[in-house]
Amino acid sequence: MWVIIDHKFVKTIRDLPVQCLKKYSVFKTKVEFLGLDSIRSKPGLQLEMLKGNLQGLYSIRLNRSYRVVFSVNHHDRIVTILEISKHRYGK
């Protein structure tokens, strides 16, 4: 079983739009019980390995505006949420 550390974002999660909250719940449940590979095949979450100054981190999209950035410790099966925020698209 995997562990998701998201306690720093309880208020942020609670204040998400309903659609985003549902997607976050799906993400959390799938990862906890089935592991990170279970969301690779879920196209709605759009799992990405990040580049640039966020290299080594991952993200999923909750909708067009919101994304979750997280780190993964595969050995200990721990996912640590680092950011849940509105995504700023660059040009």
Q: What percent of the chain has pLDDT over 70?
A: 96
Residue 15 to residue 91: CA distance in whole angstroms: 28
Per-residue pLDDT of 21-61, as tens digits, reads 999 999 999 999 999 888 887 778 889 999 999 999 999 99
Which pTM does this prediction carry?
A: 0.90
Using only C-alpha atoms, the chain has a radius of gyration, in whole angstroms, of: 12
CA angle 29, 31, 52 (to 5 degrees): 130
Hey, what amino acid is at 3? V
